[in-house]
Structure 1
Amino acid sequence: MKQRLLGWGKQLAIFLLLAFIITAVVDVWRGKDFLKDNVPALVGTTLSGEMVDIAELSKNKAVVVYFWATWCPVCSFVSPAVDTLSAYYPVVTVALSSGEDLRVKKYLQHHEYSFDVISDENYDLGSDWKIKVTPTILIIKDGEIKWFTTGFTSLPGIWWRLMMS
């Protein structure tokens, strides 16, 4: 029994290492055209009426920036993790081309998400930031992008990136 558990542990460790490597390679490939220097400002008003300026908010602390959409199937798996993180870390989300503010508010209420949202109905911010994949998650600290990932990621994945910032 001990040998079997040891074998399973070894297989799990190999699987996790491979998953990490594959995720890193996919992030590099998807991010090849993504802005890394001279990033545009991310300033806006959330659906709750608060002004947000990522450069100011990220001074001396890491901030999660989550570009997502109500129509994105992968976002429905990532959004609960972002919502959980929003209770403990600064999180700013941008709903890309998701319709009018009222529609986005209803979506948030239906899913019981509490994170703040800037509605980018016309894809202005998405275009400025050259977002090509939803979801896209950035970790920004002191106005600089520290981590970038696209597609599916988990709560531990986002948390790990926050801790490394």
Structure 2
Amino acid sequence: MDKVKVSWFKKVMGWLKQVMLFMAFAIVITGLVDVWRGKDIERDNLPDMKALSLNNEMVDVLAMSQNDAVLVYFWGSWCPVCNFVSPVVDTMSAYYPTVTVAMNSGTDEQMKQYLQHKDYSFDTINDSEGLLAQNWSIRVTPTIMVFKEGELKFYTTGFTSLPGIWWRMLFA
């Protein structure tokens, strides 16, 4: 009986080791991809991100980030990956200041209907012509940025998990 328990334990530990190695490899690769994709993002002389949200409130991301980390999410209603990331961002918006920028996703009324249909509560700027995204050199959706004290602390593109966003916000 003891040999069976030891054998089972060794198999489980071997499996855990493989999972941990895979996760470490994935973190390194995604980090390198983020660095490569973020090479065009200005980090020193950041453009303004002041705009009117769909709630008719003036949003100033750099001013908001002076006291707290702010999550900024560039996305599109047409983006398939955003369908997986948007619910995560919506969850984070309950805990952290969050501003989303809907790129080329329709009129204000269409966006309001879309957000209501999806039951998203995050604050959204409708960038219907993609000018704000262009000003920020956003070429990939989804794109997530974390700002703190007026500085861009983290930048990532593509699929991002809840723990991935949470860790970025925590360490900003």
Hey, what's the Cα distance between the residues in 1 that align with 2:22 and 2:67?
35
Cα offset, 1:56, TM superposition: 1.3
Q: In structure 2, list runs of 5 or more residues that go unmatched.
A: 1-7
Equivalent of 2:130 in 105, 123, 132: 123
1:137 and 2:144 aligned: yes
Cα offset, 1:60, TM superposition: 2.3
Partner of 2:90: 83
Equivalent of 1:152 in 129, 142, 159: 159
Q: Higher Cα Rg: structure 1 or 2?
A: 2
Partner of 2:60: 53
Hey, what's the Cα distance between the residues in 2 that align with 1:156 and 1:111?
22
Hey, what's the Cα distance between the residues in 2 that align with 1:60 and 1:23?
29
Partner of 2:27: 20
DSSP-derived class of the 1:82 partner? helix
Hey, what's the Cα distance between the residues in 1 that align with 2:150 and 2:81?
27
**More helix, by proportion:** 2
Give the count of matched residue pairs. Answer: 165
Partner of 2:13: 6
DSSP-derived class of the 2:40 partner? coil
Q: In structure 1, list runs of 5 or more residues that go unmatched.
A: none
Q: What is the RMSD computed on CA atoms of the aligned residues?
A: 0.8
Partner of 2:75: 68
Hey, what's the Cα distance between the residues in 1 that align with 2:147 and 2:39?
18
One-letter amino acid matched to 2:21: I
One-letter amino acid matched to 1:130: S
Cα offset, 1:113, TM superposition: 0.7
* Matched-pair identity in %: 56
Equivalent of 1:35 in 35, 42, 46: 42
Cα offset, 1:124, TM superposition: 1.3
Query: 1:10-60: per-residue Cα shift (whole Å, max 9, x none)?
Result: 011101101101110110111121222201010111111111111211012
One-letter amino acid matched to 1:157: G
Partner of 2:99: 92
Hey, what's the Cα distance between the residues in 2 that align with 1:134 and 1:35?
18
TM-score norm. by structure 2 comes to 0.93
Hey, what's the Cα distance between the residues in 2 that align with 1:3 and 1:26?
34
